[in-house]
């Protein structure tokens, strides 16, 4: 924190404590009101008598102020002042994480030595994997792992890079970067319409046969190198299967046309530096279990 803001926090906090203390003592009435004197506050016909706070209530306020001052002396709370104990939330977090790691290390090492297919059947592993997934993956793939527009559904059997344990773990460790080029400049409006019709026909949809026939030539020229001659995709390149009716960016005529025109560039982040080896192994088992 910059020195200016540190001083700003110290001054405002100190002023607040002083004002609260002054208000408490300045408005303290020591003697019991026997003359029926009121504070002047009237609400719904009810008048408030000017009586002192009960002693225990007043002392509770005093102790609260004393506790607050003591807390700000012992712990950080006044700008850059570290407190007498030198406590920090980062250090506390690191201690708790280290304790948890030591506590669960043996269990994780045991799971790490077992095949993904085997531990994926263990309810305890799926429970742990579910927590890891919720903290790291659900923001994109959804809490139910069924994906969203541009984010794959992990509960079906359609995989861009393969659904084997090895492929899933590689995806988690290294991440993925998709690169679907845009073809608008090459195909033009008519070519895009023809290619769109052909792509739709691959999944059995009824389309204009003339457009689809012309689109087939475009597909074999520009698309088959990645998606395959039959349009069923290629795990090595992350090229999706276009013949199963499952669409990452939507399968309407407009959505397919937009994909062909502008291309797509999906990014799956790498977790090698975020999650430990054993956590990635457990997360792999969880993701694998979603579709098995």
Q: How do residues 106-164 score in pLDDT, each as one tens digit? A: 888 899 999 999 999 999 999 999 999 999 999 999 999 999 999 999 999 999 999 99
For residue 233, the model assigns a pLDDT of 96
Token pair 């059997």 in the structure block, residue:
157
Strands 176-177 and 46-49, by their bridges, are unpaired
**Confidence band (pLDDT; 50, 70, 90) for 2?**
confident
Average pLDDT, the chain: 93
Beta pairing partners, 159: none
Q: Binding site for heme c: which residues? A: 137, 140-141, 180, 223, 226-227, 268
pLDDT over threshold 70, residue 34:
no
Does residue 75 contact residue 83 with C-beta atoms inside 8 Å? yes
**Domain 184-265 classification at class level:** mainly alpha
Tell me the mean pLDDT in the region 242-259. 96
**Domain 91-177+270-290 classification at class level:** mainly alpha
For residue 43, the model assigns a pLDDT of 83
For residue 229, the model assigns a pLDDT of 96
Does residue 119 contact residue 209 with C-beta atoms inside 8 Å? no
What are the structure tokens assigned to 53, written together?
Answer: 């706070």
For residue 53, the model assigns a pLDDT of 79
* 40 φ, ψ (degrees, to nearest 5): 95, -5
Check if 91-177+270-290 and 184-265 are the same fold. yes
Give 17-26 pLDDT, tens digit per residue: 999 999 998 8
Give 43-69 pLDDT, tens digit per residue: 888 887 777 778 899 999 999 999 999
For residue 37, the model assigns a pLDDT of 76
pLDDT over threshold 80, residue 180:
yes
Report the percentage of the chain scoring pLDDT > 90: 83
pLDDT over threshold 90, residue 173:
yes
For residue 29, the model assigns a pLDDT of 66
Each domain of the chain, given as residue ranges in start order, spans 3-74, 91-177+270-290, 184-265
Confidence (pTM): 0.70
Q: Binding site: which residues? A: 137, 140-141, 180, 223, 226-227, 268
């Amino acid at each position: 924190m910059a020195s200016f803001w540190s001083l700003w926090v110290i001054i405002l906090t100190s002023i607040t404590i002083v004002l609260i203390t002054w208000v408490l003592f300045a408005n303290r009435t020591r003697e019991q009101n026997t003359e029926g004197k009121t504070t002047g506050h009237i609400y719904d016909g009810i008048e408030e008598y000017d009586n002192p706070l009960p002693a225990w209530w007043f002392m509770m306020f005093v102790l609260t102020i004393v506790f607050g001052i003591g807390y700000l002396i012992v712990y950080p709370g006044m700008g850059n002042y570290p407190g007498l104990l030198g406590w920090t939330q980062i250090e506390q977090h690191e201690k708790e994480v280290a304790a948890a790691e030591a506590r669960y290390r043996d269990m994780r090492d045991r799971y790490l030595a077992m095949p993904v297919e085997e531990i994926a059947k263990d309810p305890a592993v799926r429970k742990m994997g579910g927590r890891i997934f919720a903290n790291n993956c659900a923001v994109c793939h959804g809490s139910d792992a069924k994906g969203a527009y541009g984010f794959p559904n992990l509960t079906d059997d359609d995989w861009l890079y393969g659904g084997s344990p090895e492929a899933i773990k590689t995806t988690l460790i290294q991440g993925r970067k998709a690169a679907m080029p845009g073809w608008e400049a090459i195909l033009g409006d008519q070519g895009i319409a023809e290619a769109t019709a052909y792509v739709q026909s691959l999944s059995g949809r009824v389309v204009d046969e003339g457009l689809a026939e012309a689109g087939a030539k475009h597909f074999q020229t520009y698309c088959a190198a990645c998606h395959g001659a039959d349009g069923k995709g290629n795990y090595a390149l992350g090229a999706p299967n276009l013949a199963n009716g499952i669409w990452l960016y939507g399968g309407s005529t407009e959505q397919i046309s937009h994909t062909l025109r502008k291309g797509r560039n999906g990014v799956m982040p790498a977790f090698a530096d975020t999650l430990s080896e054993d956590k990635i192994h457990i997360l792999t088992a969880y993701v694998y279990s979603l579709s098995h």
